[in-house]
Amino acid sequence: MDNLIDRKIAVLIPCYNEGLTIGKVITDLRNALPEATVFVFDNNSTDRTPEIAHSLDAIVVKEKRQGKGFVVQSMFRKIDADIYVMVDGDDTYDISMVHGMIDMIMIDNADMVVGNRLKTYTTQAFRPLHTFGNKLVRFLINKLFKGRLRDIMSGFRVMNRSFAKNINIMSSGFEVETEMSIKALKYGYVIKEVDISYRERPEGSISKLNTYRDGILVLKTIFIIFKEYKPLLFFSAVSGLIFMISLLSGYIVIDEFFKTRYITHVPLAILASGTMILSIILLITGIILDSMNRRFEEIYNFIRNKG
């Protein structure tokens, strides 16, 4: 196995107004990974985050587009490395397991290793509804994409170059970790999880996550990716629902016709006919998009393997 120092390791820290904690995060990572290069991606901070990072000899990269998703896009596009360690700058993650996570990447046991926060965490680490929301998102994704992930939204991840350079991130905000997890499952990347300790932010540090707004964005991301990456299942489900509406409305019309040889419920007849046609169209759409999706997946895998 190659020595750790033979691999180029990049530590990527997305930051927005983390002046209270960024110094400790950089210092802890430097102590744990002295051979790594530390990059702080500053997302228009109005406090001293970039100055503190500079003073600790971290490389500060500015991302002018506001949103964590945009930051992650820039990270993967601008930084070349063999191993990418991504961790938030809020000092909530225990990075003591980082060497074990890197080892799993080095021996090619995984393409992405995620720090699972949901086993060991302090009582104030999560806001109300956050644990429930994480479990709901985890359930949906594991069911839709046949995964067995335990923490979908963790911001502590170690990835290899193949994953970082071949995953096309489209999210703009805090839903980015959800997108990364879904696309890793979709494209057959190997994901491993390591239990880590998760703690609350230190006093005075403010979370930028909005429970309701960002929760809706996460669910929206799942919906969009479900539609785009599982088109047959998505359109079949919608088609089946509309088909049932057609049957229920059409039954009244057909029953009346057989009994009286007349149709007086004309609006219901139109509704039944229209929804039946729409149901068939949606099913055909799902079949066509699924075929196209499979071809695109073949092209993606070819380019990925060639690279």
C-alpha distances (whole Å) from 11 to each of 60, 253, 273, 306 are: 12, 66, 59, 26
Distances in Å between the Cα of 282 and the Cα atoms of 233, 245, 296 are 11, 14, 21
pLDDT at 257: 82
Which residues, at least 6 apart from 73, have a Cβ–Cβ distance to it below 8 Å?
A: 169
Q: What is the pLDDT of residue 1?
A: 37
In degrees and rounded to multiples of 5, residue 14 shows phi and psi of -75, 135
Q: Which pLDDT score, from 0 to 100, does residue 42 have? A: 97
Phi, psi (5° rounding) for residue 194?
A: -125, 130
The number of beta carbons lying within 10 Å of the beta carbon of residue 93 is: 22
291 alpha carbon, distance to own chain's centre = 24
What pLDDT, on the 0 to 100 scale, is given for residue 5?
A: 44
Q: What is the pTM of this model?
A: 0.80
Return d(Cα 104, Cα 86) in angstroms, integer.
Answer: 15
Contact criterion met (CB below 8 Å) for 93 and 115? yes
pLDDT tens figures, 195-250: 999 998 787 777 766 667 767 877 887 888 788 888 999 999 999 999 999 999 99
Write down the pLDDT at residue 7: 66
Mean pLDDT of the chain: 89
Residue 84: predicted pLDDT:
98
**Interatomic CA distance for residues 180 and 174, integer angstroms:** 11
List the chain residues with pLDDT less than 50: 1-5
